[in-house]
Amino acid sequence: MNLRHFFIPVLVTVFCGSSTADEATFGMGAMVGEVTSHEAHIQARLTRGSELIDRDLPGDEGTVHFELRKFGKSDVVVTRELAAEEGNDFIARATFVDLEPGEKYRCKISSGGESTEVSFKTLPGADRKEPVRFVVVTGMNYAKFHGDDRIDKAQHLVENNTELPRPYEGPDKHLGYPALESILKLKPDFFVGTGDNVYYDTPDKPRAKTVPELRQKWHEQFIQPRFRNLFAVVPTYWMIDDHDYRIDDGDNSGNYDPTPQVGRDMILEQLPVGARSNKDVKTYRTHRVTGDLQVWFTENRMYRSDNDTEDGPGKTIWGKEQKEWLKKTLLESDATFKILISPTPMIGPDDLRKTDNHTNIGGFRHERDEFFTWLVENGLDQKHFYIVCGDRHWQYLSVDSTGIEEFSCGALVDANSRLGRKPGDPKSTDPEGLIKQPYYQNPRSGGFLVISQNPPSDGKGATLEFSWRDEKGVVLHTTVKEG
């Protein structure tokens, strides 16, 4: 059965009745996260009204009630009652376990006379060969889209010295990013945010440093109606990168705010990566989506060496424990297709000036090369292993000299997109042009990557399709892999 048939792309009413600035409601809607075959986390922030006040949305204390049902059924499967308190930014998050694989659920979330609802489907898991479609995005820069007049334009000129893209000027600007509406129309089974989900350092002055300032970034982002509508029917998986951890290209060094601990705390508070009570949750993880597909999400900020460390065997983005976990789980997997989703690129090419990712000269190339050698030695390069990355503001498909392929989703927001570095560019990390690039996005635009996996049928094997789209949903390029 096709998962996509269950999703209904309708505009969702976020609260019942009318809401004023003095009433408690769910001004940011609700969100489902980290769905597995048997578990899901559902969260909602209780707010004072549903409109920004001085660029922020105040929270409100109260009790939030969750009622989980199977889709199309009236009987309540399980309920939760949780407090929305100032200490957790008024976010109530309920964790539901012992769910059934491949089952559609809906959850009513209420407090007083206000309510909202979300629906989702658990992953089919290893025992089911079913179709699945999901989207991958990065670069959701609120300030650039809305034209924040505090942006220091000199600090944000793109590397090729062209002018900044203009802010969005459409009459629907108040709804948020047009790409989100395009995604909703596709009825994907889930949504992956690879990082740079908010920008603590845009604008630069003032840059978000304190906990209230960091929280404000998430509030203004997720209050946008197109986010609320999408997340009401599409579950999410979240990763973080530099801009939603500390600062641009940031590592764990430096005596400045936010500290690494605060950066981590914000992720676990604002995004449903794990249960509220689990402060030790791993932000790197793998999920078996179907019998044919498994995905890995790596953590590229929390365990890294300092960027200015000399590259070599001791320098790492992933850290020893994560690297061992990654290799072990890849070897254990019998999925037809294996996708490593990375917040940052591993092949590129990228800008020569940078030193914070696996492509960069003087960055973390040794770890990348060691990992690629390991993939080849263990035959994974011949077993449909692919890399999908965020971070870069342009879409591309690049093929390394080892034959390993990388698919960049590009920036979601058009005002945050740019032309990228091509193989052979002397200002790139591949000045000799060793990387092959079957697809390079030109002209620049916002957009996203759609990945569709279909099971074997009519005597043919499983397939994996990568399709890049612009923010209006227009297909820019497609490539298909046969299992």
- Give the pLDDT of residue 5: 40
Residues 373, 449: one domain? yes
Query: In which domain, by residue range, is 14 found?
Result: 3-121
Continuous segment of H or E residues that includes residue 91: strand 91-96
Q: Residue 322: helix, strand or coil by DSSP?
A: helix
User: Is residue 259 a part of any domain in this protein?
Assistant: yes
pLDDT surpasses 90 at 75: no
Model pLDDT, residue 159: 52
CATH number of 446's domain? 3.60.21.70
Cβ neighbours, 10 Å, residue 137: 26
pLDDT in tens, 20-71: 566 899 999 999 999 999 999 999 999 999 999 999 999 999 999 999 999 8
Tell me whether strands 405-409 and 385-389 are parallel, antiparallel or unpaired.
parallel
Between CA 217 and CA 199 the distance in angstroms is: 7
> What does the pLDDT read at residue 274?
96
**What CATH number has the domain bearing residue 110?**
2.60.40.380
What's residue 158's pLDDT? 54
Mean of pLDDT values over 313-336: 98
Q: Is the peptide bond before 165 cis (omega within 30 degrees of 0)?
A: no
At 76, the pLDDT band (50, 70, 90 cuts) reads confident
SS3 463: strand
Residue 30 sits in the same domain as residue 178: no
Domain co-membership, 278 together with 220: yes
Residue 297's pLDDT is what?
A: 98
Predicted pLDDT at 224: 98
Q: Note the pLDDT of residue 155.
A: 64
Q: Report yes or no on 8 lying in a domain.
A: yes
Domain count, the chain: 2
Q: Provide the residue type at 184 as one letter.
A: L
Residues 306 and 206 both lie in one domain: yes
Residue 126 makes CB contacts below 8 A (sequence gap 6+) with 288, 290, 291, 335
Q: What is the mean pLDDT of residues 187-194?
A: 98
Coil vs helix vs strand at 224: coil
The position carrying tokens 């009570």 is 277
Beta carbons within 8 Å of 274's beta carbon, 6+ residues apart = 34, 41, 268, 281
Same domain membership, residue 446 and residue 357: yes
Q: Which residue has the tokens 């007083």?
A: 112
Q: What's the average model confidence in pLDDT over 154-183?
A: 83
151 and 292 together in one domain: yes
Q: What is the pLDDT of residues 397-417, one digit of tens each?
A: 999 999 999 999 999 999 999
- Helices 365-377 and 320-332 pack at an angle, to 10 degrees, of 20
127 located within any domain: no
In this predicted structure, the answer to whether residue 349 has a pLDDT above a threshold of 80 is yes
Does residue 163 share a domain with residue 206? yes
Query: Is there a single domain that holds both residue 90 and residue 61?
Result: yes
* 268 or 75, which is more confident: 268
- Average pLDDT over every residue of 321-327: 98
SS3 state of residue 166 = coil
What is the band of 85 on the pLDDT scale with cuts at 50, 70, 90?
Answer: very high
Rounded to an integer, what distance in angstroms lies between the CA atom of residue 198 and that of residue 241? 10
Q: What average pLDDT does this structure show over 133-139?
A: 98
Residue 156: predicted pLDDT:
60
pLDDT above 60 (res 314):
yes
Phi, psi dihedrals of residue 89, rounded to the nearest 5°: 60, 30
For the sheet with 30-33, list strands across it.
Answer: 91-96, 40-45, 30-33, 236-238, 190-193, 132-137, 447-454, 463-470, 475-482
Cα gap 393→156, rounded to integer Å = 13
Angle between helices 260-270 and 211-222 (to 10 degrees): 30
Per-residue pLDDT at 16 exceeds 50? no
Evaluate if residue 475 carries a pLDDT over 90. Answer: yes
Q: Give the ranges where 94-133 is alpha helix by DSSP (H).
A: none
Residue 336 to residues 35, 178, 208, 383, 462, Cα–Cα distance (Å): 21, 34, 43, 7, 8
Largest pairwise CA distance in the chain: 64
Query: 421 and 350 in one domain?
Result: yes
Query: Of the candidates 83, 102, 121, which is a domain's last residue?
Result: 121
pLDDT of residue 93 exceeding 80: yes
> Mind listing the pLDDT tens digit for each residue in 225-251?
999 999 999 999 999 999 999 999 999
Last residue of a domain, one of 121, 149, 175: 121
Does residue 12 carry a pLDDT above 70?
no
| 93 and 149 together in one domain | no
pLDDT of residue 23: 84
Neighbouring-strand partners of residue 24: 48
DSSP annotation of 422? P
Q: Identify the DSSP state of 208.
A: P
For 1-29, what is the mean pLDDT?
A: 56
Indicate whether this model's pTM tops 0.75: yes
Q: How far is 429 from 102, CA to CA, in rounded Å?
A: 43
Last residue of a domain, one of 88, 121, 154: 121
